[in-house]
Amino acid sequence: MDYKRIENLEKKITVLEEEVKELKKLLTEQYPSKTEFTGQAKKPSIHEEAVSHQPMKPTEVHEQQSKESMNWEEQLFQVWLPRIFIFVFIVGVLWGFKAASDYGVMSEGVKITLGYIVSVVFVGIGHLQIVKNRSVLGQVLLGGSVPILMLTTFAAHSLYEMIGFSFAFILNVLWIVVGLVMTVYYCSQALGVISIIGGILVPFLIESNSPNPLVFISYETLLYLAFAFIAWKLNYHVLYGLAAILLNIVLLVYGWFVEFTALLGAAILIQHVCLLLLLVVRKVNEFIYASTALASLFIVYGWISNTMEETNVTVIVAGLIVVYGLCIKLYKEEKVKFDFFMSYLVIGIAFLINQLFNKTEDALLLYIIQGAVTCYLAHKYNNQIQKIVGYGIYTISAVAIMGMPIESVFSQPTLNWLGFLGTMLFLVFIQTNSMKKSTLFVASTSILFTVLTLSFVTQEVLLSTEALSTNNQTLALTFSWLLLSIIGLSIGIARAFKTATYIGISLLFLTLIKLVLYDLPFIPLAIRAVLFIVLGGTGLIVSRILHKKMT
């Protein structure tokens, strides 16, 4: 019977093969010039697949290695070599001018004229190189022209006193504008980077008998705004971040050597507002711009809190909180912006708490509650950035609370500890639900909570029994530990929570060890008997309950 079934199957396969051949023949006749009449790529045969998986021949390996070496050579000779040696060339030109001046070959006017001529030649040759599709070399030459123009103007003003302060400043601003125009025209981020570095240094290259802080700070701020807008418009991330960093560095240098004034804080505040505006109107790559604004928020608070009056700082922080709240409402449909503005709001509230409370210990309870609420909202809305911010605030506050000693039973540190332990239970509950009751997480957090609770209770008991004798203090501490073990066992048995049961039993044994190794010499015989009876009875009762549940 099986033999006949196999024979029938073979016949059917033969018929199907004949039909497939006929179908292929018809399709070939209908589409004589098209092998892919279905619009799909031809599937490689078994032989072709085998060939494709065979190891490459030595000649193929050599060709591949040649291509890789060509890529390295292209990076080295066409990209990095011009960038390195343009600076070498500029240094050589400066030394050449200096040598010519020392030997009396050139006058000061000739050197300044040659400096401007070299810059113009660089611009011309750079443009020709770009036209001939040698863009890297062309951009390097164009970029090199900007610092040569600035250094030549610096020499004319500071070294040779051929031009005054105002004219030198105007010329250098003009060179910055030239750099900006070339950055946009040639779409070159490298030109923008060179131009902003030179532009930042302009005020330091111009000597003035009566420097004006407002002029200096306004110039640096406007320069930043111009390059930040260009970087945003052309999507130049390096230039965007570098512009923000350089503004902070140059203002920090000014404050260090001159004076930290409120104008410096105002400039950084303007920068933060600018970053927020550019983030709001950004439609792609929002993460980069939002991250920059997040870093700026911490920086701006540092600046204004160190350069402005406390009342003004509080008002500014409150105003920023309102702005963040409005942005959360406006951009609730755009996840990246919504997540980051929620984080800005949380951080802003933390800064406001810091402003309203003079003592750190008074603000810690609010910080710990804020961190817990932030983590809850982050889990609810699945906001990863807010989780990082929330847990960051919570962890820092928790460490501060644990490091602050409790000096009396009823005090602010006591409230801080109670808030810390309560919010920790709350966060463990949230995290357990989101992680689908991970056994390892529940066990580790439960142990940590027990250790922290034991530490807090020990401090409180020792403080509350300060007036008692050593025997009574020891006795009270032992009873408190025993009570904690009973609470843990009760929760574990009532809620079928094995971790709590194990912790309760561990506390019970810890209490027994403390009683045997430390308490016995200090406790009278009668009380010793009572303690052992209570401890032993508790252990027997727990053993009986657990045995009954297991059976």
- Give the pLDDT confidence of 266-301 residue by residue, as tens digits: 999 999 999 999 999 887 778 888 888 988 999 999
pLDDT at 37: 45
Average pLDDT, the chain: 76
496 contact partners, CB below 8 Å, separation of at least 6: none
Burial 140-179, CB ≥16 within 10 A → b, else e: bbbbbbbbbbbbbbbbbbeeeeebeeeebbebbeebbebb
pTM: 0.64
Tally of CB atoms within 10 A around 449: 15
457 contact partners, CB below 8 Å, separation of at least 6: 480, 481, 484
pLDDT at 105: 59
pLDDT at 376: 81
Q: Give me the mean pLDDT over the 389-414 stretch.
A: 85
Lowest-pLDDT choice from 222-236, 291-305, 518-532: 518-532
| Dihedral in degrees, nearest 10, Cα atoms 284, 285, 287, 289 | -90
Sign of the C-alpha dihedral, residues 125, 127, 131, 137? positive
pLDDT confidence of 303, banded at 50, 70, 90? Answer: very high
**How far is residue 519's CA from residue 335's CA, in Å, rounded to a whole number?**
59
In contact, 490 and 496? CB cutoff 8 Å: no
**In 161-309, where does DSSP find H-type helix?**
165-185, 189-205, 213-234, 237-257, 262-280, 286-307
pLDDT at 113: 84
pLDDT confidence of 383, banded at 50, 70, 90? Answer: confident
**How far is residue 110's CA from residue 275's CA, in Å, rounded to a whole number?**
45
pLDDT of 466 strictly over 50? yes
271 contact partners, CB below 8 Å, separation of at least 6: 221, 224, 244, 247, 248, 296, 300
pLDDT confidence of 499, banded at 50, 70, 90? Answer: low
pLDDT at 441: 67
Higher pLDDT, 473 or 317: 317
User: What token pair was written down for 180?
Assistant: 């900006």
Collapsing DSSP to helix, strand or coil, 440 comes out as helix
User: What token pair was written down for 543?
Assistant: 């053993």
pLDDT confidence of 41, banded at 50, 70, 90? Answer: very low
User: What token pair was written down for 467?
Assistant: 């007036």
Lowest-pLDDT choice from 72-81, 159-168, 386-395: 72-81
pLDDT at 46: 43
**In the chain, helix, strand, coil percent, each to 5?**
85, 0, 15
Q: What does the domain layout of the chain look like in residue ranges?
A: 1-32, 67-208, 465-550
**How far is residue 115's CA from residue 118's CA, in Å, rounded to a whole number?**
5
pLDDT at 252: 92
User: What token pair was written down for 315?
Assistant: 């008002």
Own/partner contacts of 488-493, CB < 8 Å, gap of 24 or more, are 488/450, 489/542, 493/542, 493/545, 493/546, 493/549
Sign of the C-alpha dihedral, residues 415, 416, 421, 425? positive
Q: Give me the mean pLDDT over the 214-229 stretch.
A: 89
pLDDT confidence of 445, banded at 50, 70, 90? Answer: confident
pLDDT at 432: 66
Q: Give me the mean pLDDT over the 326-342 stretch.
A: 87
How do residues 160-205 score in pLDDT, each as one tens digit?
Answer: 778 887 888 888 888 888 888 888 888 888 888 888 887 787 777 6
Residue 205, class by beta-carbon neighbours within 10 Å (0-12 exposed, 13-18 middle, 19+ buried)? middle
- Of residues 91, 146, 92, the one with CA closest to residue 123: 146
pLDDT confidence of 106, banded at 50, 70, 90? Answer: low
Lowest-pLDDT choice from 18-22, 70-74, 316-320: 70-74
**How far is residue 172's CA from residue 146's CA, in Å, rounded to a whole number?**
9
Lowest-pLDDT choice from 80-94, 287-301, 374-388: 80-94
Q: How far is the CA of 515 from the CAs of 97, 393, 457, 497, 543, in angstroms?
A: 88, 39, 17, 27, 20
pLDDT at 496: 61
155 contact partners, CB below 8 Å, separation of at least 6: 97, 111, 112, 115
114 contact partners, CB below 8 Å, separation of at least 6: 97, 106
Q: Give me the mean pLDDT over the 299-327 stretch.
A: 92
- According to the per-residue pLDDT averaged within each range, which of 71-80, 83-92, 337-346, 535-544 is highest? 337-346
pLDDT at 274: 94
pLDDT confidence of 123, banded at 50, 70, 90? Answer: confident
